[in-house]
Amino acid sequence: MLSARESKTSSPVAWNVAAEIVSPNPAELERAARLLRAGEVVAMPTETVYGLAAVVFNETALARVFAVKERPTFDPLICHVAVPEDASVGWLSYLAAQQLVDVERLADDARQAVERLTFAFWPGPLTLVLPKQPAVPDLATSGLPTVAIRAPRHPVAQALLRAVGLPLAAPSANRFGRISPTAAEHVMAELGDRIPLILDGGPCQIGIESTVLLVEPEGTLRLLRPGGVTQDEIEGATGQTLTTAEGLAGGTPLPSPGLMASHYAPRKPLELLPKPLGEFSDEELKALVVALPADVHVGVLLAQGDAMAAQARLLAAAEETGRATQFHVISLSPNGDATEAARGLFQSLRSLDARDDVTLLWAELCAGEGLAHAINDRLRKASGSRGT
Ligand code: TXA
Ligand code: MG
């Protein structure tokens, strides 16, 4: 078991809390559920990233989530629900009975889209934004008339939801704007001095957050955040073409506040390579290396290919140009498999960011569609849209 004192978190506020990482056995799940019912926050694993959970109907607990994350309250939370015990109850009736969704405001086309989406993807990495009932506090939704809902697939998240018996609001368990956690130790490093308990569910299987999809009352589907379920999969399941968030009238500063341009930020500057490293000629590589300030050492995140070979080419380019630049290269997927790349993305970013001998990060964008789109979205935000 790790204690918060071993983590590197430093905070402007003295929280006087030391988190425990615990294995999610029945006793610890019950303890987590008790803490949550008492208005505390607890970190839980999901199949996408770790979440910082609080009972959605408890405003004091929600306020704690925002404080712990240092998250502005204009960025609304996702509400997580248990899978209904009675499989014959439709998801929409269930969400209505939980006092979450105002189904009356959805036209038949919208209801049918939700039925198809939940049938195809729940429990799983798809978040649906739907009209909310008044019982959902404005703090959870940043005053929007909608609530974001997802049924996570991770067995520990489901076990916790069942043990609490109430829906749980859970943003990613990182400090605002930082890299999302995909292991219990990452949560410890981010929030270990601010929360009491971290349920350890092992490394997250998907590694990238859920897709956020707005279901408009008349049935239009708008992709607000690419994620674990791809646009093609959604279009295949619904027979509908997705619309983007653009042109969405919201009355709020942003249609989906989490779509801010800079997010997922490492501490060190991250620059996007203009093309895959393997496509750089030796001359181009040398030009890239020569353009670096002398005291810079680079952590390189490849989307695919062989890390050792890339490192050797970069070191050769440095040597030939008389530079002492060091390179540390990680390949997200030697075979270029986007599923594998997504799973390792945040962990790899985090580990390069943590190295004392790395001062700058370079990242390659992922080729292709589907999950590559979600990975590139995160990398662009991590760079604050800086290119090399
Ligand atoms: O995979 C995930 O979704 C993870 C795990 C823990 O479930 N959670 C997560 O939460 O990524 P968070 O808070 O980091 O991101 C929530 C996203 C934000 O982009 C937010 O703006 C959007 O969902 N969102 C939430 N409620 C919304 C609403 N009512 N309308 C539009 N966007 C909403
Ligand atoms: Mg987040």
Cα 198 from Cα 184, distance rounded (Å): 7
Cα 306 to ligand 2 centre (Å): 30
For residue 144, report the distance from its CA to the centre of ligand 1, in Å.
13
Task: Check if 51 has its Cβ closer than 6 Å to any atom of ligand 1.
Answer: yes
Q: Give the residues of the chain that fall short of pLDDT 70.
A: 1-13, 247-262, 385-388
pLDDT tens for each residue of 50-67: 999 999 999 999 999 999
Give the model's pLDDT for residue 257.
57
For 74-136, what is the HEC assignment?
CCCCEEECCCCCCCCCCHHHHHHHCCCECHHHCCHHHHHHHHHHHHHHCCCCEEEEEEECCCC
Gap from CA of 25 to ligand 1 centroid (Å): 28
Tell me, letter by letter, the H, E, C secondary structure of 148-182: EEECCCCHHHHHHHHHHCCCEECCECCCCCECCCC
Which pTM was predicted? 0.93
Which pLDDT does position 262 carry in this prediction? 60
